[in-house]
Amino acid sequence: MRRFAFLLILSSVALTAAELPVAPSGMLDKTAIAKLTGHLDDLVEDGTVVGVGMVVARDNAIAYEHYAGLLDFELTTDVARDSLIRIYSMTKAMTAVAALIAIEEGRLDLDTEVADYFPSWSNQRVYVADQDAPGGYRTEPVIEPVTVQHLLTHTAGISYGYYGATPTDRAYREAGLIDDWDYLVRDTKVLVETMGPIPLLHQPGARWHYGFASDVLGQLVEQAVGQRLDTFLEERVFRPLGIEAYFDVPDSEFARFGTNHIHAADGTVTVQDTPYRDPEFVDVTFISGGGGVVTTARGYLRFALMLANGGQLDGVRVLAEKSARAMTSNQLPADAGLRWGYGVTVAGDDGPLNRGSFGFGGAAGTAFWVDPVERLAGVVMVQRIGLPNDVIPTIQALTYETLPK
């Protein structure tokens, strides 16, 4: 049975302090809106996703919002406006904001070394391919130590451990840091301390590689500001912007907290993470700056619009405009093969989005993007591990069709 929530395209709505205004009904093309809505519903109907939520803003006002399907396959709970979603790596942008706030206040610097706070990162070494060496690799000293800049840009030589066959990935697994998906340590500080003696994948600054960098960065923020990352973000970002977000979901909110779904090739759906027994988000001791936040679609939209507006929203500034612009601009060399800011990818001239658009996604299929050219921000929330690669680009393309010609 289809389970569809509501479609919101209104001209007025009662607002609270944490709600955005709703755009005039004529801002988007009605025929294209119906096509986008039908596509989201079809994703549920054909079993691509169990549930989906989407909200789009233009000119800082909500222009489109739709929720369809189930939040929890086991409990048959509907996806709704207030559903709490695991955003995983969309947390990285939030951790980048925390670091930039600490930099603005002089508590960190882009050149701050990890070893300044974690001595185990002193005298680090790097793996180098060598056919004559045991195992095909030798190590050499780092040319320059890992810094905050390297962490922000994922050029530190840090990997994740669960998806690669490099010696660094193998070393992470052998050290008991991670298995095929889950963190195996329950303390972020222990993770960072243990990583220090493990040789890096490449020289810091040499290239981009995805990994634990944001988790390490979150620990540097904690050490620099003297607060846990979750507390710092709550006080300096979430609460001022009116965002409901958690690293540790309270018992009182479990009914709104969804499961993670895995779709087998034969269409069978199973639950990967039942909310009540997931140590990554319940009774948390590992504060993951790389993937630990749970929030709502509207909550993340407010965060995205803060970045779109140069660090402020609704008259509340949480980040200097200079910092926000640096974060959402490409920080990698032109020949890097990727355009990356701080915690977000940045569109160039060769992709489907307008140049200067920025955003990122999460492991369970969530995604956000901001398009400064069209004054548009979109958030898509699903909870499917292994979401097909074409789902988000198709949704984005249909969103652009709604813009009046």
The answer to whether the CB of 343 falls within 8 A of the CB of 92 is yes
Percent of the chain topping pLDDT 90:
79
pLDDT in tens, 151-184: 999 999 999 988 878 999 999 999 999 887 677 7
Asked if residue 186 is part of any domain, the answer here is yes
Cβ within 8 Å of residue 73, ≥6 positions away: 50, 259, 261, 269, 271
Q: For the ranges 72-81, 211-220, 276-285, which has the lowest average pLDDT?
A: 276-285
Number of structural domains the chain divides into? 1
| pLDDT value of position 16 | 39
Asked if residue 38 is part of any domain, the answer here is no
* pLDDT grade for 14, boundaries at 50, 70 and 90: very low
| pLDDT value of position 113 | 98
DSSP, residue by residue, 246-268: ESS--GGGGGGBPPEEEE-TTS-
| pLDDT value of position 111 | 98
| pLDDT value of position 53 | 98
pLDDT in tens, 320-370: 999 999 999 999 999 888 999 999 999 998 878 999 999 999 999 999 999
DSSP annotation of 276: G
Asked if residue 176 is part of any domain, the answer here is yes
Output the six-digit token pair for 94: 């939030």
When the pLDDT of each residue in the chain is averaged and rounded to a whole number, the result is 92
pLDDT in tens, 185-219: 889 999 999 999 999 999 999 999 999 999 999 99
Residue 7 has pLDDT above 50, yes or no: no
Asked if residue 8 is part of any domain, the answer here is no
Average pLDDT for 110-119: 98
Asked if residue 119 is part of any domain, the answer here is yes
Beta bridge partners of 78: 70
| CATH number of the domain enclosing 185 | 3.40.710.10
Estimate the crossing angle of helix 91-104 against helix 213-225, to 10 degrees. Answer: 40
Which domain does 309 fall in, by range? 82-248+284-345
DSSP H helical ranges for 164-228: 167-174, 188-195, 213-225
DSSP annotation of 211: S
Asked if residue 48 is part of any domain, the answer here is no
